[in-house]
Structure 1
């Protein structure tokens, strides 16, 4: 973990991409920069947001006062400070106070402006994630290869637990239109293991797993269970290293938006859509037949407006 001196140096560093030195940036931007690149829980992001929205006041609050204002415990504030690389809240407050004083000395931003800028910054961060994904997809071989393997797996199991459920269900919903047997697993433990065993017994060869932060122990257990059954694992995650990646046979990465209290998933969603396209390209005749059949059923039963 960085020392307080290292954390302060990081806060004062010149930002990448030719941006001006930290002391020349708006105070709110300097506070946001403290939180960038750190994996914060939703509760910790609430603390971060409060500090951004109330900088000139919050930087001078005691740990007890800050905890009461945010509605969290004092240990939560301490864990938040240590997650940023500080020894505790006093060391973080020491960095925040000069920023607060410069905000008072300059033209103060209204709370509405701070909030608007924070939302815009969240969108900008997602644009960066998509730009990174665009560069990754410049070489399509890996996505096409994985899509081909998933298209061949009958049944195909799609796994997503906790916050990753929504991505797994999106992928499974679309994949069922082009694949004859898609099974989605959204519960961990023995329920997941049972589903994986059944999939392998039915002839399945691959499971596609989504693992977004915060990464759960039960996701790791499910991946290990899949490997024990004989299934291969394709993983979509934000990680490039770690135990989840170690359990996967193929890994596709996409960054998540972490500027707000809860993550956003523009890049992982785009990556999932690209993998669906790869499955389409792997068996275009089956895809066309299944899509036409589905449209006939949808018209017959008046599914859509």
Structure 2
């Protein structure tokens, strides 16, 4: 039997064509049944969990994108597929796609109600990310210590490339209100290296870097360049393993919402604000002085409507 036929046969075995709505298993249950009965390594269990949690997206990802999202290598994804009895990842994806499409379609005749539910599911996923971050904040020592280190680094470099630029710009904009010298690096390559080298020569000791999916090769290169100049790197990302985390001196993980076409960043945004708070608290006198001066300038030059 060819791989595609076997994949369809396996999928049909767990999704019988004639079931009443009351007995039709949920798409997540179908996926778990597809994965069940196989001895999976820890890395493979992470892949299985990601696919189950993000089925409607994961079933259509390339092997490269899936590996990046999970934080594993492409060969790990291939080994995962073959451990389930498929000839490779394309055959596994072929089996997953009908299940994913049934999850999107919902019941016959479903319309805007399902679209609304999909948006609610995206919010629910972000709530789960925030709950996970809340548990991390049960022990604030690491965040407070990082805030002290970043506050002492003059200049302080904020690094964010490609999709991560928005988070880096937010932190850099706010940090400039409480820190005397903040430098934003939002371009990679030799431009980033030049900026990092200048920051180190000016006395800087830390870089705060952001790496959201899809993780850019330029970000990894910039982090390595920062380390080569003698700068230490604090990383905010969505994965707990991988080359980016390996290169960082300190790493904080905050999950991203991946239920929509483009990721959402509720948890990374809150984590960023918490680090800014820790920076402000690290030197309260400087913070108060700078904030007062900024408010005076804002009033004098009418920066804002209110």
- TM-score above 0.5: yes
Counting only pairs closer than 5 Å after superposition, residues 51-70 of structure 1 correspond to structure 2 as none
Counterpart in 1 of 2:149? 149
Q: Indicate the SS of the match to 1:145.
A: helix
Shift of 1:124: 0.5
Counting only pairs closer than 5 Å after superposition, residues 79-98 of structure 1 correspond to structure 2 as 85=81, 87=88, 92-94=93-95, 97=98
Change (3 A) 1:262 1:205: same
Any conservation in 1 of the 2:168–2:209 contact (CA below 8 Å)?
Answer: yes
**Aligned alpha-carbon RMSD (Å):** 3.8
Counterpart in 1 of 2:214? 214
1:37 equivalent among 41, 44, 50 = 50
Asked if 1:292 is matched to 2:305, the reply is no
Counting only pairs closer than 5 Å after superposition, residues 1-305 of structure 1 correspond to structure 2 as 23-25=24-26, 37-38=50-51, 45=57, 85=81, 87=88, 92-94=93-95, 97=98, 107-305=107-305
**Which string of whole-angstrom CA distances, capped at 9 and with x for unpartnered residues, describes residues 115-172 of structure 1?**
1111111111000000000000110000000000000000000000000000000000
Q: Indicate the SS of the match to 1:235.
A: strand
**Which string of whole-angstrom CA distances, capped at 9 and with x for unpartnered residues, describes residues 214-262 of structure 1?**
1111100000000011100010011111111111111111001111111
Shift of 1:189: 0.3
Q: Indicate the SS of the match to 1:287.
A: helix
Change (3 A) 1:166 1:78: closer
- Unaligned 5+ segments in structure 1 are 13-21, 49-75
**Which string of whole-angstrom CA distances, capped at 9 and with x for unpartnered residues, describes residues 75-105 of structure 1?**
x88988989956466654555557878999x
Any conservation in 2 of the 1:30–1:99 contact (CA below 8 Å)?
Answer: no
Any conservation in 2 of the 1:178–1:287 contact (CA below 8 Å)?
Answer: yes
How many corresponding residue pairs? 259
Q: Indicate the SS of the match to 1:175.
A: helix
Any conservation in 2 of the 1:46–1:261 contact (CA below 8 Å)?
Answer: no
Any conservation in 1 of the 2:147–2:282 contact (CA below 8 Å)?
Answer: yes
Superposition TM-score, scaled by structure 2 size: 0.73
Q: Indicate the SS of the match to 1:236.
A: strand
